[in-house]
Chain A
């Protein structure tokens, strides 16, 4: 079974401080990992996915298969980063379409 764990419900950091949102997963197959973000009063949207290896809004995430982790990082937090962040997993194999989400971490950036 697929499982995604985000150990922190709430993470508060000061503006300009580094941010790390943790995500661990449990899956025996070959996963694709994603980070989705939901800003206040907005809909859930894709932030980044591990296969594209992009940096979006200064955020990066590296898939560590040995530690089964996909932590989201940003060197300097901004107030506009305050939002709900969800880590999600999908089987990369053909015939699998569902996203399995973690419970989310609320990031609060203190001015």
Chain B
């Protein structure tokens, strides 16, 4: 099991463009969370998807949207890119047990640079 995989590894975009990042969860996991990690900061929660729906959202604008597919993989879309969106985007997968999410397993991240 390769664990959580993310693509692409690196991406360069210009202001105003749109970007799509992809994540495949660890085998057997059904929940995907997305985090933004700016340089020198800890990861910040964007949102979480379970059963193809957004379950919880952090303090991010509507420019950030996502999707989860029937195979549990997920996409993060960012519209109208700003310079401040430059960051490492982390995907984490987990397995629902009861009402709460179990341990989150992180992917290697996608480094987005906005020029």
Cβ contacts A to B, 21 pairs, < 8 Å: A43-B3, A43-B106, A43-B108, A44-B90, A45-B105, A45-B106, A46-B104, A49-B103, A94-B100, A97-B31, A97-B33, A97-B48, A97-B100, A97-B101, A98-B33, A98-B56, A99-B33, A99-B45, A99-B104, A100-B45, A102-B42
Count residues on chain B whose CB falls below 8 Å from chain A CBs: 26
A contact set with B: CB distance below 8 Å: 4, 43-46, 49, 86, 88, 90, 92, 94-104
Chain A neighbourhood of B56, CB < 8 A: 95-98
B contact set with A: CB distance below 8 Å: 3-4, 31, 33, 35, 40-45, 48, 55-56, 58, 90, 99-101, 103-109
Cα separation A49 to B109 with both chains bound (whole Å): 23
Chain A neighbourhood of B100, CB < 8 A: 90, 92, 94, 96-97
Cα separation A7 to B60 with both chains bound (whole Å): 25
Q: Which residue of the partner chain B has the closest CB to A92?
A: B100
Cα separation A92 to B98 with both chains bound (whole Å): 12
A99 adjacent to B109 (CB under 8 Å): no
Chain A neighbourhood of B31, CB < 8 A: 97
A101 adjacent to B42 (CB under 8 Å): yes
Cα separation A55 to B17 with both chains bound (whole Å): 47
Which of B48, B58, B100, B108 has the most chain A CB atoms inside 10 A of its CB? B100
